[in-house]
Amino acid sequence: MSDFTSGFWSIYISIITVVSIIACGVLLQVMSTRKVSGSEAKTTGHSWDEDLVELNNPLPRWWIWLFYITILFGLVYLVLYPGLGTYGGSHQWTSKKQYDEEVAKAEAQSAPMYEKYAKTDLKQLAADPEALAIGQKLFLNNCAQCHSSDARGGKGYPNLTDMDWNWGGDPETIKETIASGRKGVMPPWGAVLGDEGVKDMAHYVLSLNGRTFDSLRATRGKEKFMTTCVACHGSEGKGNPAIGAENLTTLTLLHGADEPALIETISKGRIDIMPAQKELLGEARVHILAAYVWSLSNSPGAAAQPAKTGAK
């Protein structure tokens, strides 16, 4: 009802609701009129098997009283809870208010469990089995929809179990990625390069990641690469974690590393969004989740070593 810009609709709905309830009561009163004793019962005109007729008798008294009770219940409900236009009810109940109260209650119960890990170094946390179990549950509830339950992702969604990261794979960078989100933009080059130019560029990228390529096209593509792509991906095509530019020398490219996928990416461009999770999960949960994600591509024994950077 809060979407209404005029009070008319609130009044309109309220009147229809109240009149409908009153009409039900009036109908019940009419239908509850008893047949005078000794008078002939009227029929509805329906008959079956020649002698089986439907009489127009009043409804059973017990059924009528049950109906009156439901009407009374409806009136009491409309006084206590929302139902009459913009009137909020005497209890001022809303689903959002109830949700917020339940979330606050759950937070109060679970906060101590998360807070005890909040100040622990991420690499140390990645070696704690209890913290990892909590992190895994957080991952399955909030991240598996995109990255899959095994964290290996899919086309357009990064594999979190390898060492290729677009924005950097050290623990603090992973935490920042989860908390604040990321937006990667690859501009479309189809209109600039043309179909043949796009294909040449694709074959140059194929030469970078070790796939079969056309050497002539790759040579022409390299010239175009050095004027259009080098600013983001670097002269060697190894990307730039500062801006999320992908490392083109690997086979784990986000949208595919074969010729058709590369042609589509270069021609049409890509926009990849990792939504921010800090507001939803809170600082303590993000901290544990970051430790779990880092552990997926680093064994507990690697906790003393910085994670390599590459492409997620």
**For the segment 123-132, what is each residue's pLDDT rounded down to a tens digit?**
999 999 999 9
CA separation for the pair 113, 285 (Å, rounded) = 10
Q: How many CB atoms lie within 10 A of CB 205?
A: 26
Q: How many CB atoms lie within 10 A of CB 213?
A: 18
Contact 272, 156 (CB under 8 A): yes
Residue 257: in which H helix or E strand, if any? Answer: none
CA separation for the pair 278, 244 (Å, rounded) = 20
Architecture in CATH of 184-274: Orthogonal Bundle (1.10)
State residue 148's pLDDT score. Answer: 94
CA separation for the pair 298, 223 (Å, rounded) = 38
Q: How many CB atoms lie within 10 A of CB 268?
A: 13
Helix (H, G, I), strand (E, B), or coil: what is residue 306?
A: coil
pLDDT score of 108 more than 90: no
Number of helices (H), then strands (E), in the chain:
13, 4
Contact 292, 139 (CB under 8 A): yes
CA separation for the pair 312, 166 (Å, rounded) = 4
State residue 309's pLDDT score. Answer: 37
- Same CATH topology for 98-181+276-302 and 184-274: the answer is yes
Reported as a pLDDT band with limits 50, 70 and 90, residue 37 is low
Q: Detail the DSSP E strand segments found in 8-117.
A: 43-48, 52-55
CATH topology of domain 98-181+276-302: Cytochrome Bc1 Complex; Chain D, domain 2 (1.10.760)
Of the listed ranges 26-30, 245-249, 284-288, the least confidently predicted one is 26-30
User: Which of 160, 157, 195, 193 minimizes the C-alpha distance to 174?
Assistant: 160
User: Which of 166, 126, 177 minimizes the C-alpha distance to 296?
Assistant: 126
Report yes or no on whether pTM surpasses 0.75: no
pLDDT score of 304 more than 50: no
- Domain boundaries, given as residue ranges, for the chain: 1-33+55-93, 98-181+276-302, 184-274
User: Whole-number mean pLDDT of the chain?
Assistant: 88
